[in-house]
Amino acid sequence: MSERRKAPSDVAQRLGERSRTRAREQGSSLWRRETYTLPRPEARSKAREWLQKFPKAAYMTEIEFWRELSDGQIEFTMRRLPTAD
């Protein structure tokens, strides 16, 4: 019996479905996210605050998304795992 070779997209689909199933079973996403809209200096300060409070090594904290709005403010989403919460 020969087994069909799996393409990377097949593996990605299977892993994605597994993540979605787990999230549904737990009733929420595995990630904690919070979105802010702040002037540039305050946005930097808030991002530093998150990175100090939730270190990347333990929480995989990162700026998931950011953009500069027409009024000069920065809109950004911080993301982290709820490890050790």
Query: What confidence category does residue 8 fall into, taking pLDDT thresholds of 50, 70 and 90?
Result: confident
What percent of the chain has a predicted confidence (pLDDT) above 70? 81
Quote the CA–CA distance of 80 and 21 in Å, as a whole number.
20
Closest CA to 31 of 66, 60, 3: 60
Quote the CA–CA distance of 21 and 25 in Å, as a whole number.
6
- What would the mean pLDDT of 6-18 be, rounded to a whole number? 79
- Domains and their CATH numbers in the chain: 31-85 (3.30.30)
Quote the CA–CA distance of 85 and 82 in Å, as a whole number.
6
33: which 2 tokens?
Answer: 């996210």
